[in-house]
Structure 1
């Protein structure tokens, strides 16, 4: 059996890179950041970058704020149930809540396998279907990541998921997708600025994107699709 990772000996920067790696076995390849339903719903093919930017200004702030607050609660020795309730109230679409909890379940499994003794992860043994940002926040508390790193991780992951999915849905040059991700750096940092100081579940932003929610709901019953959401 592989020896369990000892987080105290691992640089937080390295751990951040690990969690941001698209090859992490957390079922991320099944998600398009809502791009597939958006394209099916009428988003023009040349609107992918604008779509990613809109997500960063809306639904991603909800997830990033949730992760930041969950981290703070865990470090204070408090459970994070209340922040998940706040997240769910700000994520009206059942399809998007289900997709996030699928990803959260996969990340939960990975977290408990790699860092089974981390105190901040103990509640995950009792919560089997947490939303993904809740698990990200608990990992941040366990691994010594800052609120800024938490928010940046959530924002980067969403943008790279959208742009990676675009290469399957709207075939193009991977170099262009990478350039687009770099071009979104300022928008990613805007997310960090907006949520890094949040401390209470009631502080989580309520920046919704109704059309994204509607596209996701329609996509949930689509008979043919590459991605779940």
Structure 2
């Protein structure tokens, strides 16, 4: 007997929980590359977060929203994945996202074992594409989905900074709250997207370069 369909709020809480065992703990949301290869310190983290929300997370959130829309309409998700890949030129970041996507897909298949949308995905889909399909299956609206993408990135940085550039843990909570206006701006910017060509193409050359440097680093705490 398949498991009962969880409520949208429960799915949102589950996906936003750092204890979710799908591999997010192996990522630093770009913080370790920035610390190791860019000299970033704890004092720089708030600006780092704002930069990611305006660039990397905008691409991720836009991709997830369009994937949700396409999934609800029964459309092809391959174009969404291609649009995301075109906006993520670093092979290291694409690999990292697809590793996470595989974990999210495995979890989703346990919750919705008969969902055709999940069966149609490749074995290693991009994380935001899987999140979009999950949002469609769970009844999450686009605004909640964007907030999830924003919170997950900010929380990932907050968890990683305590290992990489130790600071007061209360500071990471303050940074999360301070990022709220930027996340809401991202909601306004991306929640209404419906087509792959509308996904933001906000480049982050430094993040991309540091990810490639990090992929060649033999000693590291996080994959990316």
Same fold (TM over 0.5): yes
Q: Aligned runs of 1:77-92 on 2, under 5 Å?
A: 77-92=74-89
In 1: Cα distance, 2:98 partner to 2:117 partner = 19
Does residue 93 in structure 1 map to residue 90 in structure 2? yes
Does residue 178 in structure 1 map to residue 173 in structure 2? yes
Question: What's the CA shift for 1:14?
Answer: 1.8
Q: Which residue of 2 aligns with 1:59?
A: 56
Q: Which residue of 1 aligns with 2:35?
A: 39
Question: What's the CA shift for 1:114?
Answer: 2.1
In 1: Cα distance, 2:156 partner to 2:181 partner = 17
Q: Which residue of 2 aligns with 1:139?
A: 134
Does residue 197 in structure 1 map to residue 192 in structure 2? yes
Q: Secondary structure at the match of 2:120?
A: helix
Question: What's the CA shift for 1:115?
Answer: 1.7
Q: Which residue of 2 aligns with 1:109?
A: 106
Q: Which residue of 2 aligns with 1:154?
A: 149
Question: What's the CA shift for 1:95?
Answer: 0.5
1:69 to 66, 70, 91: 66
Contact 1:63 1:133 in 2 (8 A): yes
Q: Number of aligned pairs?
A: 223
2:4 to 3, 6, 15: 6
Q: Secondary structure at the match of 1:172?
A: coil
Q: Which residue of 1 aligns with 2:219?
A: 224
Q: Aligned runs of 1:17-36 on 2, under 5 Å?
A: 17-36=13-32
Q: Secondary structure at the match of 2:220?
A: coil
Question: Could you report, residue by residue, the CA deviation over 1:105-163 in whole angstroms, capped at 9, with x for unpaired residues?
Answer: 11111111222123432313xx1010000000000111111011111111110111011
Contact 2:22 2:104 in 1 (8 A): yes
TM-score, L = length of structure 2: 0.96
Q: Let me know the Cα RMSD of the aligned residues.
A: 1.1
More deviation, 166-175/213-222: 166-175
Q: Which residue of 2 aligns with 1:211?
A: 206
In 2: Cα distance, 1:122 partner to 1:142 partner = 13
Ranges in structure 2 where 5+ consecutive residues have no aligned partner: none
Question: What's the CA shift for 1:174?
Answer: 1.4
